[in-house]
Amino acid sequence: MDIFEKCYTFTDAKQAKETGLYPYFHALETAQDTEVVMDGKRIIMIGSNNYMGLTSDPRTIQAAKDALDRYGTGCSGSRFLNGTLVLHEQLEEELADFFHKDAALTFSTGFQTNLGIVSTIVGMHDYIVNDSENHASILDACRLSFAKKTLKYAHGDMDDLARVLERLPAESGKLIITDGVFSMSGDIANLPEIVALARKHNARVLVDDAHGVGMIGEGGRGTASHFHLENEVDIIMTTFSKSLASLGGCIAAENEVIEYVKHRSRPFIFSASIPPANAAAALEALRIIRDEPQRQKALIDIADYMRGKLREAGIPIAEGSTAIIPVYTYDMNRTFLITKLLFDEGVYVNPVIPPAVQDGDCMLRTSYTATHTREQMDTAAAAFKRVFSRA
């Protein structure tokens, strides 16, 4: 069989486009902000991960411009060879300080960060234990590793995690991986219980805090800080494409771990380094988050306000305390219809369908920004009420 056969027979996207409900690849004509222009119309953006509102902040933009002027557009090599800038080292020093860890290491993307750390740290005699709702990059990282076995525990179920760990050889190496703030549900991992079980069963803990950084924790330091467990979490991972208003990712850990990954991680060694403008923007965003803790409060306040407005309107939502609010739509076709109707009303949301969720659990993933206004939320909530009354 021709390996392209699957491509030629793929019709899902075509069918969705024919119905007029295809919800993907809308092109922005403006910067990512609380309001954007898509398809020629003004839209309230509640589907972005721009949690701190820094992608269009003049300071992050200026930092990127200054880096372009000083360093050019790219590094033309990997960090391992000619691609390390003083700027990369400065970013890593400040990230390590921010996370209260010995050292940090940056990667070219967040996805690649998980590939780079998991595939390097976990050996052929080791086990990986995953929350069932961990991000796709973690799942692919597990596939890339030489782990003896990768096991899952039911999302947030500490009894199930204990059961999984008890089945593993006591002397074996084990890595428990969990999202800090889960990207779809907005749930916060039960890190105190995870850490306690890790210590009981001689396991290490990796927290993917792509969505937690900026959003929770003292000064926006994420989930480990939120629970005062920075000394108990072995590796903290995050991305720059969300609160840090750029592109890239990093891990923070003890010196020996960072040094090992630096010299053994294939995704790190064989990839070009983060371009200067991206590194500079991430560094400036990190400093703003550190110096302006009011942004974190503004983010949670606006999300709580919208949560209340959606409740008042009778919209079915998942309760929580983060800036991610899932809105239940259940059926896939209905999800696409509601997404389209909301877009027509001037509100952008993200439809979430299988395999990202189970059949029958389709939702709209809404997420908020520190710079959203209550007036924008009132307008968006009114649109939700109108759309849900007829869909």
Catalytic sites, residue numbers:
183, 211, 242
Local structure of 214: helix, strand or coil = coil
What's the token pair of residue 224?
């480990």
Rounded-to-integer distance, Cα 31 and Cα 13, Å: 27
Asked if residue 60 lies in contact with residue 240, where contact means CB atoms within 8 angstroms, the answer is no
On the CB side of 291, how many CA atoms lie within 13 Å of its CA?
Answer: 8
Rounded-to-integer distance, Cα 292 and Cα 282, Å: 15
Containing H/E element for 308? helix 294-312
Rounded-to-integer distance, Cα 177 and Cα 174, Å: 10
Rounded-to-integer distance, Cα 106 and Cα 99, Å: 14
Local structure of 94: helix, strand or coil = helix
- Beta strands 174-179 and 41-45 are unpaired
Rounded-to-integer distance, Cα 313 and Cα 323, Å: 19
Rounded-to-integer distance, Cα 206 and Cα 23, Å: 34
Rounded-to-integer distance, Cα 17 and Cα 23, Å: 9
CA distances from 303 to 230, 267, 298, 331 (A): 26, 36, 9, 25
Supply φ then ψ for residue 225, to 5 degrees.
-65, -40
Give residue for tokens 């009354």.
389
DSSP state of 85: -
Asked if residue 340 lies in contact with residue 16, where contact means CB atoms within 8 angstroms, the answer is no
Containing H/E element for 91? helix 86-98
